A and B are shown apart, each in its own frame.
Chain A
Amino acid sequence: MKKIIIKPNEIEEVELTAEEVSQAETNDTTFQLKLDQEEQEKITKENNKASGKQKLKDLGLNDDEIKALMGA
């Protein structure tokens, strides 16, 4: 792997050090965990949204009233 360094009057290509490559690999792992977490949070948020919407309906609110409250 390499990195590009763009300077005002030149462009330079530098190979990543072993330490930088290792850090990138670690970042992949961390990033994947982050994506998994984001996905789980998204599912939880959607579920909460659907559950809350249903509870509002059970209380007698119609869809327009619910949309005005929730924005969706």
Chain B
Amino acid sequence: MAYVGNIPAEAYISLSSQTFTTINGTGYTLSSEVTNSEDIALFLNDVRQKPSTYTATGTTLTMGTATTTADALYCVYLGKGIQTVNPPAASVNTAEIADGAVTNAKVDASAAVAYSKLNLTDSIVNADINSSAAIATSKITGLAASATTDTTDASNIGSGTLPDGRFPATLPTASGANLTNLNATNLSTGTVGTNRLASTGTASATTFLRGDQSWAALSSDFVLLSSTTPSAANTISIDGHFTSDYDVYKIYAIGMSGSSMSNTRLSYKMNVGGSAVTGYAFSTANQSGTTFANWADNTNAVYMDAGYLHNSSGSTAQGNLEMLIFLPLSTDQTTIITQMTAWDNGTDFGRYFGSCGDKTARAISGITLGVGAFGTGDIEADKILVYGMKNS
């Protein structure tokens, strides 16, 4: 009768035995595979052991009780695996392999699985790439062949020059503490802050920048107290400027003219408490050519004659007055007023010098200017300046 299936590899089999040379403990290795403890007859010291006192699976024999080196142990194989039946070449199809039966261990370590056999589309994630992977630069789009894998970190740029195109038009906000060799001639627009010009003092409308790069207050020893352009009036009173801050005052009346009959004399009075008063001693001299002569004087006057003025407003050659008032607030006879007047009408001219003191030593609050002995005519000036000179 013919065989159905594979032809057995062996036709006969004889019983065999195994003597264990190393006797100690509970675990032993069988020389042939068995299915269970019934497949062997186990003898300990020539006494057969009950199969339930040991287990035998595959090539593993496990004693229920540990043996010692004094014991003798051997077994007789009653049934054992004696052959491996291999299916014929190219006879196993997909149907013979159970789903999930092919494990990783079944794939040879050197197997070259074709890429086409792997379904890798959109499945490789960053974690699948080894941390020490040396990916070739040619595999990274946009990375120059000369680049190394870590050149995208700016801290790894150790040489070379960044081209201008790599700098943004507007530089980022960053500390310039370490910038050196800045050339001030490259500043073409903008305003340098005042705090960049000096390190000491405070910039303000009343300070100036000194050569030692410090802001300093303007010297106020000679102070402009007022600057005015009064309109024409019968009298012009300059009052309220005299304080204890100053000892000496200067009054400049520039471009004066007047209208007073046919004879325009400049007259002035002292103010006491804001009002013009009388009672002065004064003397005024006139320079005519090279000759000086007494022109007017009075020891108890109601006003002082200070000279002449041009009697045409807007003339190019008008009168100018400089007046010095020394210690106006003094209540003794040390208060003194000196004045100089000059005028030129294009044909005639005159220069007058005079001094004046109060008869009764009153504190002076100001000066009142008029023309023609304080008559009905008007006086005017292009500019009147009042200065004070500090006493400390």
A interface residues, Cβ below 8 angstroms from B: 1-9, 11, 13, 16, 21, 23-25, 27-28, 30-32, 34-35
Contact = CB atoms under 8 A, between A and B. Distances in A.
Nearest to B233: A4
Interface in B254-304: 261, 263, 265
Contacts of B372: 27-28, 31
Given A4-B230, A28-B376, 11 more contacts: A1-B233, A3-B368, A4-B231, A8-B225, A11-B230, A13-B233, A24-B234, A27-B373, A31-B261, A31-B375, A34-B373
Contacts of B238: 6
The 7 closest A-B pairs by CB, nearest first: A28-B375, A31-B373, A4-B233, A1-B234, A7-B240, A3-B235, A4-B230
A13 B233 CA distance: 9
B203 to A, nearest CB: 25
Contacts, number: 71
B226 A9 contact: yes
A27 B374 contact: yes
Given A11-B228, A13-B231, A32-B261, A6 B239 contact: yes
B362 interface: no
Contacts of A24: 234, 374-376
Interface of B: 225-226, 228, 230-231, 233-241, 261, 263, 265, 368, 372-376, 378, 384, 386
Chain B CB within 10 A, most for which of A7, A13, A21: A7
A35 to B, nearest CB: 6
Given A6-B237, A7-B239, A1 B376 contact: yes
A30 to B, nearest CB: 7
Contacts of B236: 3-4, 6
A51 B233 CA distance: 46
B233 A6 contact: no
B235 to A, nearest CB: 4
14 contacts: A2-B234, A4-B237, A6-B237, A6-B238, A7-B239, A7-B241, A24-B234, A24-B376, A27-B373, A28-B372, A28-B373, A31-B265, A31-B373, A32-B261
A1 B235 CA distance: 9
Nearest to B368: A3
Contacts of B237: 3-6
Contacts of B375: 24-25, 27-28, 31
A4 B226 contact: no
Contacts of A16: 234
Contact of A8 (B231, B241, B265, B384): B241
Contacts of B386: 6, 8
Nearest to B237: A5
A25 B373 contact: no
B385 to A, nearest CB: 10
A51 B235 CA distance: 43
Nearest to B303: A27
A16 B377 CA distance: 13
Contacts of A34: 373
Contacts of A35: 263
Contacts of B373: 27-28, 30-31, 34
Nearest to A35: B263
B352 to A, nearest CB: 15
Contacts of B228: 6, 11
